[in-house]
Structure 1
């Protein structure tokens, strides 16, 4: 059974959804990022960047345990393990990978900064709020334009690019976005949200979700503890 060290965030939900879609048995070990559990020595031994999620598969490719951090790498690993949600042909695979990289390098970091400056920053900095809100809207536009010509993000079949992007867009209200302005994205979003495996995936650890705005959570996530060498 795969062990998933996680918390109910977009990156955590990406892996929860993938596991549900693949039908793989897994056990979730909560890592309370607001309480600083991401700095635990055991967790750091296989997630050296102190970020969730991470997995430990007791039966890796060579039959030995395999630990992985970085949600994109985990999605690729699970796709390889099951032969699902990533095209087998070379062209289709690279088309999917470019959109996965788009999520990892664009949507995740930029929407993460949007969340930070709109919700978590101790002071409201107008320039930062405007800069990242506008970037969020631009990225939604990129996805909307893509979905005007493609049923799913990477082509005609649902796959890891959809799984990677969807959880980040669930926070559209907090990002200053109106989904009504992106009709192609909205149709895709509603279809993905209705998938039973997606519904199960986003429900994982949901009872533990809370606003990370108290002083302790701010310090663990954005203060000196984050920048210490652990």
Structure 2
């Protein structure tokens, strides 16, 4: 059994999607990042970077439990464990991994900044607003170009790279994106959104999510709490 410590965010949904797609048994434990659950010692013991998601697999390598943090690492682990969605040949696997790294290194962090400065920043800083909005548009252009050539990001097969990018694209409007500018990416997005496993996955913990309107929630996510926490 895989225990998933998560919250209904893009990074959380990456892992929810993979688990629904590959069929491995799992159970979910909510980590309310607005309430500061990510700073609790028991969570830091498996996720020292105080970020969701994290997993504990009771049947890990050599039949021993393993805990993992970082959503990209978790996706690679689940692909290896299930034998699915990474690619069949070495070439396909490397193509999948490069697009997964694209998401981890750029598409997630930069879009997260765009979302923050457009939606959550207490004051509008025009430079930051423009900087990250423009970078978001550039990154959507990268995937649109790729998807004009292939049905999925890594080629002919649906992989963990698509699962990693898709949840971030669900907030395209908040990132300043007009889908009409990126028709190939929109075709891809709509196709993935229609997958039954994806539809189930985005409902995982969905009832728990609430607007980040309190000072406590803002501090837990963006304030001094980030610097005061201690790794277990």
Give the TM-score range, shorter chain. Answer: over 0.9
Write out the 4+ residue segments of structure 1 that deviate beyond 6 Å after TM superposition.
none
Q: Given the superposition, is the C-alpha separation of residues 219 and 29 from structure 1 closer, same or farther in structure 2, using an over 3 Å criterion?
A: same
**Cα offset for 1:229?**
4.3
Measure the CA separation in 2 of the matches of 1:159 and 1:145: 18
Q: 1:229, 1:72 → 2: CA distance? A: 23
Q: How does 1:139-154 map to 2 (within 5 A)?
A: 139-154=139-154
Matched, 1:2 2:22: no
Task: Provide the rounded CA distance (Å) in 1 between the counterparts of 2:35 and 2:214.
Answer: 10
SS of 2:155's equivalent in the other structure is: coil
SS at match of 2:92: helix
Provide the C-alpha distance between the structure 1 equivalents of 2:199 and 2:153, rounded to a whole number of angstroms: 19
Where structure 2 has 5 or more consecutive residues not aligned to the other structure, the ranges are none
Aligned Cα RMSD in Å? 0.7
Is residue 2:97 matched to residue 1:94? Answer: no
Correspondence for 1:222? 222
> How many residues matched?
230
Q: Which residue does the alignment assign to 2:158? A: 158
- What whole-Å deviation, never above 9, does each CA across 1:191-227 have from its counterpart, x for those lacking one? 0000000000111011111122321111111111101
Counterpart of 2:14 in structure 1 is 14
For 1:22 and 1:206, the matched residues in 2 are separated by 21
What is the Cα deviation at residue 88 of structure 1?
Answer: 2.7
Using the size of structure 2 for normalisation, the TM-score is 0.98
- How far has the Cα of 1:13 moved from its partner? 0.1
For residue 212 of structure 1, give the secondary structure of its aligned residue in structure 2. Answer: coil
Unpaired runs of 5+ residues, structure 1, are none
Q: Deviations over 1:48-87 (max 9, x none)?
A: 0000000000000110111000000000000000100011
> 1:59 and 2:59 equivalent?
yes
Tell me the distance in 2 between the aligned counterparts of 1:189 and 1:38.
Answer: 30
Deviations 1:130-185 (A, max 9, x none): 10001001000000000000110000010010000000000001111011110000
Q: How far apart are 1:102 and its partner, in Å?
A: 0.1
SS of residue matched to 1:4? strand
Task: Check the 8 A contact 2:86/2:160 in 1, yes or no.
Answer: yes
Give me the whole-angstrom Cα distance separating, in 2, the residues matched to 1:209 and 1:72. 22
Contact 1:75 1:160 in 2 (8 A): yes
